[in-house]
Amino acid sequence: MASLLGSGVYFWQGNEACAYGAIAAGCRFFAAYPITPSSEIAERLARLLPLVDGIFIQMEDELASINAVIGASWAGAKAMTATSGPGFSLMQESIGYAFMTETPCVIVNVQRVGPSTGQATKAAQGDVMQARWGTHGDYVPIVLSPNSVQEMFQLTVRAFNLAEKYRTPVILLVDEIVGHMREKIEVPPIKEICIVNRKKPKKGDRSFFAWAEVAPMPTLGEGFNVSVTGSTHDEYGVRFTADPEVHRRLISNLVDKIEKHRNDIVELEAWNTDDCSTAIICFGCTSRAVYEAVEEARRKGVNVGYVRLKTLWPFPAETIRRLAQRVEKIVVPEMNLRQLFYEVERAAYGMAEVTAVNKIGGGQIITPEEILEEILS
């Protein structure tokens, strides 16, 4: 590992940084199906994983990819897959399965223009709600959103750490711009990278599921005779396909496991939000235009601040609510037709005016000027 990835300054593509971040986090199994604009992650890991005795396999489709990842995770691997919108749609059933069975794994979605085949090579942020509500039934996903090549590395490591800590699938929701752009990245010494590993059971343990806190996770072949099922099950993994109480207890425990640790999971970057009159809520590549728009606005004498969501889900509604109490206006720029906007509006509860800046198609970013215009309007 040390020889594979020395600390230092590199000039990398976002997708490349994701691959190296995965290796640094301890990822030793990767299964995926080629899809633009995420394929560089697979191409890089196809080279890197054999060097650390890890497994790379290109599967026949995205359904197979996510399920191979789930199998490898139960076999003891830190495992990941990478895809884009269409593949992410195909994976949804099994993302729900990973949530239900408490299988730690990382799913990278480098978003492109949709729906359907859309514009395969062009940037978009249209999967915010698919990442939140994509699978059927009730669940809470953890979704992280990087805005730089540096963060592609860091949040990939963090995605693995959160997956292991909370025994749940974690989605890294990237956009094509962050995935494909190249910029400077500083890789810290491997010893300084915080790595979290899943809690293992003790000999004689039999209860591996549905705790309100995180249950220990056995590895296959260690003699625990674990029964894993996506059907409603009790703490011993035994199916209860009709009992309402078992289902309510299971789901509320799985949801609580994440909801109760919001403070640990939610990360955001806030700037000048204490006394600004207008605040911007942003994520991913759009935030890069926000930085410039905010500076320009301040030069024009408008007191503007911003919150950038590094964790999209769970959504930091309380932070937004308190912000709405202080500011007059909240602007939500995003490369979709109002997905985060409604969530912000809901959290603001009418206490501040919430306006949107939206742009879709062709991978055209929202410019600083367009955001500035909305700030000043």
Give burial (CB, 10 Å; 0-12/13-18/19+) of 31: buried
CB closer to another protein, 65 vs 111: 65
Tokens of 286: 């759009």
User: Is residue 65 a contact partner of residue 95, using CB atoms and an 8 Å limit?
Assistant: no
CB closer to another protein, 74 vs 341: 74
- Which helix (H) or strand (E) element contains residue 119? strand 119-123
CB closer to another protein, 17 vs 79: 79
- Give the gyration radius of the chain's Cα atoms: 21
CB closer to another protein, 5 vs 177: 5
Give burial (CB, 10 Å; 0-12/13-18/19+) of 71: middle
Shortest Å, Cβ 68 to another protein:
4
CB closer to another protein, 90 vs 371: 90
Tokens of 249: 């207890």
Shortest Å, Cβ 235 to another protein:
13
Shortest Å, Cβ 170 to another protein:
18
CB closer to another protein, 75 vs 337: 75
Report the C-alpha gap between 293 and 284 in whole angstroms. 15
Contact positions toward another protein, by CB under 8 A?
Answer: 28-29, 31, 50-51, 53, 55, 57, 59-61, 63-65, 67-77, 79, 93-94, 97, 220-221, 223-231, 237-239
Report the C-alpha gap between 348 and 328 in whole angstroms. 11
CB closer to another protein, 239 vs 298: 239
Shortest Å, Cβ 65 to another protein:
8
Give the residue from 101, 105, 51 showing the smallest Cα distance to 83. Answer: 105
Report the C-alpha gap between 198 and 151 in whole angstroms. 23
Shortest Å, Cβ 94 to another protein:
5
Residues forming a β-bridge with 183: 12
Shortest Å, Cβ 18 to another protein:
20
CB closer to another protein, 87 vs 146: 87
How many other CB atoms are there within 10 angstroms of residue 2's CB atom? Answer: 9
What is the separation, in whole angstroms, between the first and last Cα of the chain?
52
Shortest Å, Cβ 278 to another protein:
46
Report the C-alpha gap between 367 and 231 in whole angstroms. 47
In the 8-state DSSP scheme, what is residue 4? T
Shortest Å, Cβ 281 to another protein:
35
Report the C-alpha gap between 37 and 159 in whole angstroms. 20
